[in-house]
Structures are given as structure tokens and as C-alpha cells.
Amino acid sequence: MGEPKSDVLLGTLDLLLLKLLELGPNHGWGLAERLEEVSDGVFQVNQGSVYPALQRLKRKGFVKSSWGVSENGRRARYYELTTGGAGALKEELARWARTAGAVEQVISLRPSASEAGS
């Protein structure tokens, strides 16, 4: 039996989408597929989460969209990072680094001899 799949942590989907869009424009399905691929299948995001997140990012001015043709010849809305989105990504990456560092500090704690015997 393989590792259990993980939901994208609450609040991190926007960060992950912005990071993927930093690599270049993509459509919603392509972003979901890429996220699953680069996370080795740990993150599997359904379209019901990706598209609302992209619309939220668009309303904030972090991404823009235009129509294009996908790799399978279908019409698709492609999303692209804006200058404002690049700035937001930089801020979110710094926040994530602080959060991840704090989590690591907590989970690396070891009980002292007096706590271990309690």
C-alpha cells in the first residue's frame, strides 16, 4: 500500500499556483496536473478548487487570463502571473519560509529527562 494522498494545506493553494505560474502561463487543468507531477502525487487538487483559486487571484490582480488552445487542441483559458502577482509570490514565499521554520522548531523538540519520566 502506498503513501496516503495529502490535501493541499489550507491557504497554500494560492501560493502553489502563483509559483507554478512563475514558470510560465498555463490553464487550470495543466496547473492541477503539474502540481500533482512535481509533488510526486502527494498533492492532487480537483478542478473545483483550482478554478475558484485562479479567479480569486485574478480578482486580486495577481494573475491575468486570455483564451488560447491547449496541447490537445481545445480552447482553454490560460493564466499568467502579473507584476503584482510576482510581488505577492515573493511575500508569500517569505511567509512560508518563516512558518515552515517555526513548524520545524516545534516538531524537532525532544523531551528532557524530567519530561520523559512524567
Q: Cα 102 to the chain's mean position, in Å?
A: 19
- Kindly list the domain boundaries of the chain, sorted by start residue: 13-105
Q: Is 11 exposed, middle or buried (0-12, 13-18, 19+ CB in 10 A)?
A: exposed
Which pLDDT value is given to residue 9? 65
Q: Is the domain 13-105 a CATH 1.10.10.10 member? A: yes
Q: Which residue has the cell 495529502?
A: 6
pTM of the predicted model as reported, rounded to 2 decimal places = 0.84
Predicted pLDDT at 118 = 58
What is the grid cell recorded at 89? 509570490
3-class DSSP state of 76: strand
Strand ranges inside 1-118, DSSP E: 26-27, 63-69, 75-81
What is the reported pLDDT for 1? 45
What is the pLDDT, as a whole number, of residue 113?
75
User: Above 70 in pLDDT, residue 102?
Assistant: yes
- Cβ within 8 Å of residue 3, ≥6 positions away: 42
Q: Does residue 60 register a pLDDT over 90?
A: yes
Question: In angstroms, what CA-CA distances link 5 with 23, 40, 44?
Answer: 25, 10, 7
- For the chain, percent of residues with pLDDT exceeding 70: 88
Mean of pLDDT values over 33-58 = 94
